[in-house]
Chains A and B, each alone.
Chain A
């Protein structure tokens, strides 16, 4: 038996039901939404901020703000897209604020994943993260956001365009240029 129906349609239904229950004040629904989208949102926030405390703060702010809309939350598009864009916007604000106060978080950050255990593997992955994060930090903000949302948030260009209010062609070109820029900045790192 094909699972197309089983795995396709109910995902949409599930979010619809979750939002319905969320609006009715069901704490389980909030927990479900959090658990369901946490991994993707952590990836997005991690790539845009790369600071454990800032990542946690951003995720915290996004979910508290989302929860404050319970009772009247309505959605135009996918829930994942909405939350991912919220995380990206919040991360952008954090980065801007950091630049204003003269902190160079992205270039001098400790570059450890949140709560990463200390081990040789972890150290190696932290080093890799440092290189990739450094490259990401040098990219123009708009390009970085599109690349991260598309690759790590698994958002379609159409969804990013809808949520950000920018045309899909602009989003696609930002992605193309962003990926090319990242390739140059990584200087063969991806080939290893």
Chain B
């Protein structure tokens, strides 16, 4: 034994036995008790921060700004048609009749989006399909160039067209959205709260009769403001139909929304309230459920109850295979593949990772699957196939993963080992 080895041996002998044969229960108890308290506090604080930051993020999103603008317009529209019954121009019966006759609404306009100092002018479209005999759902679609929000009854989808991703929003069930949905009472846009605010607080309401310069038709120009949000409105109502023709909104004295065209009872574009089929839907509720299942299976895996873990991973793969662009299913299937070697079924491991590669090659980390496939083949004595799999792993990783990344490094090591074995066999 070399001197260095002897020194190392002495160190290990001297200090390596500190935890052996000693009663450390008091120390363990003290450390775990304090660490548990610290952990509980940290997790609670993290959850609070998470909720707050999500809410802040939501409130900062441009979609919300635009949705709020649309809310105001719709509220103003309802205000004009439903309220002011004292005015001879709009009796309750007339407005009720006007509302009943409506089946669709399309608002087209421009909105200033972004910071107050440097706003960006964007075009938006807002379609409404009122409940009718075919569908009892109120459907809405708010669209600008970056974001589309589609509401079908209580389910809303926030879509990112560039990324082709849609996020399902089940307002009453998602804590971050509860306040928003409560305020809206039904949807983010058709908000009773905003209507109520305008009804109660708009104390500078003015009406002025005028004639449309292009058509000569009689119009009523309504102006009002809502002091708490420093917003002002200018709404033009057709005297004959009692419906809004144009609407403008100012925020802090700066133009904010210019809805220059209101179209009623026109057929909405086909599929306006449907999600495009090529969108990936992010269903947060299902993701939450799948995460719970994955964690449960993971716990069993750590406890080395591999058969039980396998059952849950398989269930998760079957149930959530395509969720979140396949990411959830990929994670589940990967772990299915990792359970098989634990119970000695390397042929099933091969089968699983081949399936993984076939189904989830669009995901960024599928090089790991090739690495695992190589391991399984190697265990089965199929070194040629193993070599092929390892090489594929390196090929995919090139330029993506760090050279010392686990799968890359290990794949390289296995390739060297297999080649060395082959060389040994071929040499006389």
Q: How far is the CA of A69 from the CA of B42 in the complex (A)?
A: 6
* Across-interface contacts of B13 in A (CB, < 8 A): 128
CB within 8 A of A67: which of B20, B42, B379? B42
* Chain B residues with a Cβ closer than 8 Å to the other chain, count: 56
Instruction: Write the nearest CB–CB distance from A77 to chain B, whole angstroms.
Output: 11
Q: How far is the CA of A59 from the CA of B35 in the complex (A)?
A: 11
B14 touches A (CB below 8 Å): yes
A182–B39 contact, CB under 8 A?
Answer: no
Q: How far is the CA of A129 from the CA of B379 in the complex (A)?
A: 45
CB within 8 A of B298: which of A1, A9, A21, A186? A21
Interface residues of A in 42-99 (CB under 8 A from B): 42-44, 46-47, 55-56, 59-60, 63-72
Interface-located stretch among B180-188, B221-229, B336-344 = B336-344
Q: How far is the CA of A9 from the CA of B335 in the complex (A)?
A: 12
Interface-located stretch among B21-29, B123-131, B148-156, B267-275 = B21-29
Q: How far is the CA of A30 from the CA of B40 in the complex (A)?
A: 11
CB within 8 A of B36: which of A23, A27, A47, A191? A27
* Across-interface contacts of B41 in A (CB, < 8 A): 68
Ranked 7 nearest A-B pairs via Cβ: A71-B46, A25-B43, A67-B39, A67-B35, A190-B6, A39-B19, A67-B38
Which A residues are closer than 8 A to B by beta carbons? 1-2, 4-6, 9-10, 12-14, 17-18, 20-28, 30-32, 34, 38-39, 42-44, 46-47, 55-56, 59-60, 63-72, 113-117, 125, 128-129, 132-133, 147-148, 151-152, 158, 179, 182-183, 186, 189-191
**Extra pairs beyond A21-B298, A114-B24, A151-B8 (7, CB < 8 Å):** A21-B302, A43-B18, A63-B35, A129-B14, A132-B11, A189-B10, A190-B9
Q: List 22 A-B contacts (CB under 8 A).
A: A4-B375, A6-B341, A9-B372, A13-B301, A17-B301, A24-B43, A34-B35, A39-B18, A39-B19, A44-B15, A55-B18, A63-B31, A63-B34, A67-B35, A70-B39, A70-B43, A71-B46, A115-B22, A151-B8, A152-B16, A179-B8, A186-B7
